Chain A
Amino acid sequence: MRFCNELPAMDFLRSEKMSFVQLIIPVESAHRAITYLGELGLVQFRDLNDDKSPFQRTFVNQVKRCGEMSRKLRYFSDQINKANLAILPRPTLQPDVHLEELEVQLGEHEAELLEMNANSEKLQQTYNELLEFKLVLQKAGGFLVSAQNHAAPSERELDENVYTAEDDEGNLSLLEQPELSKKDGLRFISGIICKANALRFERMLFRATRGNMFFHHAPAGEHVMDPISGEMVEKTVFVVFFSGEQAKTKIVRICDSFGANCYPVPEDMNKQKQISREVLSRLSELETTLNAGIHHRNKALSSIGCQLWRWTMMVKKEKAVYDTLNKLNFDVTKKCLVGEGWCPAFAKPQIKDSLQRATIDSNSQLGIIFHVMDATESPPTYFRTNRFTHAFQEIVDAYGVARYMEANPSVYSVITFPFLFAVMFGDWGHGICLLFAALFLILRERKLESQKLGSFMEMAFGGRYVILLMALFSIYCGLIYNEFFSVPYHIFGSSAYKCRDPSCSDTHTAGLIKYREPYKFGVDPSWRGSRSELPFLNSLKMKMSILFGVTQMNLGIMLSYFDAKFHGNSLDIRYQFVPQMIFLNSLFGYLALLIVLKWCTGSKADLYHVMIYMFLSPLENLGDNQLFWGQKTLQRFQGRTYGILRTSDAELDVELDSAQEHYNDFNFSEVFVHQMIHSIEFVLGAVSNTASYLRLWALSLAHSELSTVFYEKILLLAWGYKSIIIRLVGLAVFAFATAFILLMMETLSAFLHALRLHWVEFMNKFYHGDGYKFKPFSFTSLANEEE
């Protein structure tokens, strides 16, 4: 006990000590104070106006103004994206503008842009109309010419009526539909319509005129910009021939409702040519005007663009400050704002310093009062991490955020996680590949940090140090397993075995003989391919898995002891920790002991037999299975300890009764049921969890077998041929299989299994994980939120 008490304080194991603080800030320095605190980023404010809706809060107008500004900024970035301008945010030397000035500036820019857009829209529309007119002239003119050639002379007579009337008006307005002559006869309307609508348009015309019309159409050939969506649309030029006044009104209406634009086309060839010339010249004029407009607009946009990021950040910060200010309460005198929140205890001097600066900078008469209060709710959990431990902490947090001041499993996970991974992924060839990947990510850290990565890459980058450790441990385990892409190497001296005869013909049948000292480190390369390879490796890996499992579970239970001791909970130590230790160690701990003894002594005892008959007939003689002196007595003693466990469970009830007086909301039956469930779960869990660690064996076996298959059945098979092409193909297939199946999928699966072993088998021994994270008000996290 004394030893435990004298252990150094385990700071890494515990989350930061938090204090509940109250701030009383004079109104005049409030904004600055909150800004400074945001830069510091170590205070989490509590919402004191929870009952108020957002628009009833104090600084609602400022928040609204910020919202309006960010809307304008979004508009700008939209416009920049639409114009396809690539603008890098340049660090400008301009001093920080004040928010009010910024608001005015943004307003001006927006008005300017809107005006430019309106102008260019008008121009664009005219341009579109002219373009469409040009297309109609080209195509419809063609129809008319061919129609005239085929027309009977009598019909031509009728036609003339139409275009003599048009001659007068064609000059007056190019873009307006001229009044067709009132006289009867065959007339036509020409125009242009979206290709998608053309079919329905034709059908509608047919129905409306009861088939008394002739519809001719041809694709326009050129795409025309749709003024609303700004996309290029395919259009069809059409000409409708009809007769009668009523039909005309109907057709015009249908054209209207389908958004078809009608343009008059004179049938006279000379006239047509004249008009097309006019149209073309106006088109080129307009084009230059339009281009000048676009150029001007792009210039304006790029001048906005290089400031855009800075402005966005500024507005975001400002909005965050006002949002935080809205969480504060006015005190009775209405001269001060009162805020409450959490901060880590170590940060108090820094916070005081910032508040001091805020007071001085805003020339306030009154200082800001900062003091610690008592809180009823449990404090948030805050672990200080660096870029190395961050990923490991994330792995643990993904399971559940630690309760305040609870033992933090990620301290141990830093080593145990990559190690258990490597037990399953032991191959130093693959390990080296993984190492290169990790080193690539780490060496280019600076560069990759600022980039936007894909989701998979982002994940790999976030866990780069996890991957590094995983790779290092894989190399280590690979050396122990003696596998380099499943090929054994004689690195640490030569093998301890040799063939029975010089020809080595019976290696796979009769086996080898040992002739010298065991291989120095790891598995002897001669085991590879021998008859007893699998039985030997299986036995080794299985036992090893159980040893690791028992060790890690014991570590978990030990942590529960430190937790209980830290919180001064002697009940948990006596009635939870001690029985758990006894139970686990007298069953699986004992098994682990037997395994180690068997390895050391080279005994041939059957451990299944020992374990099973320890329960079935504890009094029987062990015979061959005796591993050490006094084993039988020990096993009988263990039987008795289970008896003790039974009584200690009963004692728990008594003890809890006495505890009842201390807590007001103590519910005996609830605690009793909870403890019952907990102990049943632990007993069942001890068996299933130990079995669960056998996945270490299973996965490592699968990995080595799979890589053997790839090596022997693909690479060696291909190498057996003389043809260089087959060899190359074999090499390529081997490389791909190694990269995608072994390096990516197997890594992922081993990762997931290691994750499970930590989350379930290790952490359920002590970890509650029902805390909540410390989320300080900070500008740096704001910048990361960039969507």
Chain B
Amino acid sequence: MYGFEAMTFNIHGGYLEAIVRGYRSGLLTAADYNNLCQCETLEDIKMHLSATEYGPYLQNEPSPLHTTTIVEKCTLKLVDEYKHMLCQATEPLSTFLEYITYGHMIDNVVLIVTGTLHERDVQELLEKCHPLGMFESIASLAVAQNMRELYRLVLVDTPLAPYFSECITSEDLDDMNIEIMRNTLYKAYLEDFYQFCKKLGGATAEIMCDLLAFEADRRAVNITINSIGTELTRDDRRKLYSNFGLLYPYGHEELAVCEDFDQVRAVLEKYPPYQSIFSKLSYGESQMLDKAFYEEEVKRLCLAFEQQFHYAVFFAYIRLREQEIRNLMWVSECVAQNQKSRVHDSVVFIF
């Protein structure tokens, strides 16, 4: 029922939309970041954060603080909020909310599998996992030796199972395999999420498809840049791109054959929305690309809040909060390592 969400949306989604908009107003402001950037020690950061919504999460931390504690506690807040929303949600919003976490699940699976490959302790690895992407049998991932086992033992019970259909091989796991697996999974996940949003229809489909297309394009660019100079063939590379987005299909053909950063740039500059990102970067400079993409993403996520009666606000909120936590981590790292001049390198302001 396109265009008629206003009539029925609030029956199930109204309460949670209000909640999420309330959460959103708790995001740190530019003034907060300015103050944070002036902090001298992690204590100062804690003190400043105690005046914000992070206060209750940090107030009981004993004094010698570490960056990890700050990040952990801030993530805990996000997780609490997410869980609260998930508890209150009804279909199809609850499925939508669950979809948001699948990305983290993929990352966690990859983290654990890579970790066990390098013989790290499972408990230690579990601590590093993103709490949003946890699932019950995650610890038993360490048992698996190859992808087929991985699938058969553990992942068949998780929502990730359908995404695995493309990458079941009996090959032993190695770094390259795992990375390809991550990207294949991610591709399948994004496509599935895209289809799901499309099925929801209305403003949700409109905004979410836009956001997911951006995500897919960004991944395509990252895959291309990261695979330059590796043994990944062009066809394999081409297979990792998601089958939607602004770059699909012609951009993908061109990206697949790129051999250096400037070629990637040449491809993307043909697309007006990405032109502005590259216009800020000087030639041959690929380090700042991540930040430029993040900035663009934040801008788009903020725009999602301009419309009402759709689910994209939940996605946008969680992404914005994650960006905020990344910012906090960067600021705290800079403060902890006395590199305050580099604070602004990676902080993406959310307005």
Contacts and interface: CB of A to CB of B under 8 A. Distances in A.
Interface of A: 53-56, 60, 63-64, 67-68, 71, 74-75, 200, 204, 207-208, 250, 253-254, 256-259
A204 B47 contact: no
Nearest to B32: A53
A233 to B, nearest CB: 16
A250 B136 contact: no
Contacts of B35: 53, 55
Nearest to A70: B59
B143 A257 contact: yes
Contact of B137 (A55, A75, A200, A253): A200
Nearest to B153: A207
Given A207-B153, A208-B153, A54 B47 contact: yes
Contact of A204 (B39, B48, B122, B137): B137
B38 A204 contact: no
Contacts of A56: 38
A258 B38 CA distance: 45
Given A60-B47, A200-B136, A204-B143, 10 more contacts: A53-B35, A53-B38, A55-B38, A55-B40, A55-B47, A68-B63, A71-B60, A253-B143, A257-B122, A257-B143
Nearest to B39: A55
Contacts of A64: 43, 47
A463 B165 CA distance: 68
A612 B69 CA distance: 78
Interface in B1-57: 35, 38-40, 43-44, 47-48, 50-51
A64 B42 CA distance: 12
Contact of B153 (A55, A67, A71, A204): A204
B136 to A, nearest CB: 6
A644 B205 CA distance: 64
B39 A54 contact: no
Contact of A257 (B48, B62, B63, B139): B139
A325 B86 CA distance: 45
Contacts of A259: 139
B140 A74 contact: no
A207 B43 CA distance: 49
B344 interface: no
16 contacts: A54-B47, A55-B44, A64-B43, A67-B47, A68-B63, A71-B62, A74-B60, A200-B136, A200-B137, A204-B140, A204-B153, A208-B153, A253-B142, A257-B137, A257-B141, A258-B139
A64 B44 CA distance: 9
A257 B62 CA distance: 30
A250 B143 contact: yes
Contacts of B48: 53-55
Nearest to A56: B38
Chain B's interface size range is 20 to 34
Nearest to B43: A64
A54 B143 contact: no
A75 B47 contact: no
**Chain A to chain B: the 7 pairs with minimum beta-carbon distance, closest first:** A257-B139, A53-B35, A55-B44, A257-B140, A253-B143, A207-B153, A55-B47
* Main secondary structure on B side of the interface with A: helix
B152 interface: yes
Contact of B51 (A54, A60, A207, A257): A54
A200 B157 CA distance: 10
Contacts of A75: 60
A68 B47 CA distance: 11
Contacts of A63: 47
A56 B137 CA distance: 48
Contacts of A256: 122, 139, 142
B147 to A, nearest CB: 15
Given A204-B140, A253-B143, A71 B59 contact: yes
A388 B142 CA distance: 71
B304 to A, nearest CB: 30
Contacts of B40: 55
B142 A257 contact: yes
A71 B141 CA distance: 39
Contacts of B44: 55
A54 B32 CA distance: 11
B172 to A, nearest CB: 15
Interface in B107-136: 122, 136
Interface string B146-158: 0000001110010
Most buried by B among A55, A68, A258: A55
A54 B61 CA distance: 19
B349 to A, nearest CB: 17
A64 B46 CA distance: 10
A258 to B, nearest CB: 7
Contacts of B43: 64
B143 A254 contact: yes
Most buried by A among B39, B40, B43, B61: B43
A254 B51 contact: no
Contacts of B39: 55
Contacts of A54: 47-48, 51
B140 A254 contact: yes
Most buried by A among B47, B48, B140, B141: B140
Contacts of B62: 71
Given A53-B35, A74-B60, A207-B153, A258 B47 contact: no
Contacts of B122: 256-257
Most buried by B among A54, A200, A250, A257: A257
Nearest to B140: A257
A58 to B, nearest CB: 14
Contacts of B141: 257
Nearest to B36: A53
A685 B255 CA distance: 72
Nearest to B40: A55
B60 A258 contact: no
A114 to B, nearest CB: 9
B70 to A, nearest CB: 15
Contacts of A257: 122, 137, 139-143
Nearest to A114: B62
A75 B63 CA distance: 13
A200 B39 CA distance: 48
Contact of B140 (A60, A68, A71, A258): A258
Contacts of A53: 35, 38, 48
B97 to A, nearest CB: 23
B8 to A, nearest CB: 33
A67 B44 CA distance: 12
A253 B139 CA distance: 10
A53 B29 CA distance: 14
A316 to B, nearest CB: 14
Contacts of B143: 204, 208, 250, 253-254, 257
B130 to A, nearest CB: 18
Interface in B41-96: 43-44, 47-48, 50-51, 59-63
A205 to B, nearest CB: 10
B40 to A, nearest CB: 8
Nearest to B122: A257
A601 to B, nearest CB: 60
A200 to B, nearest CB: 6
A258 B142 CA distance: 11
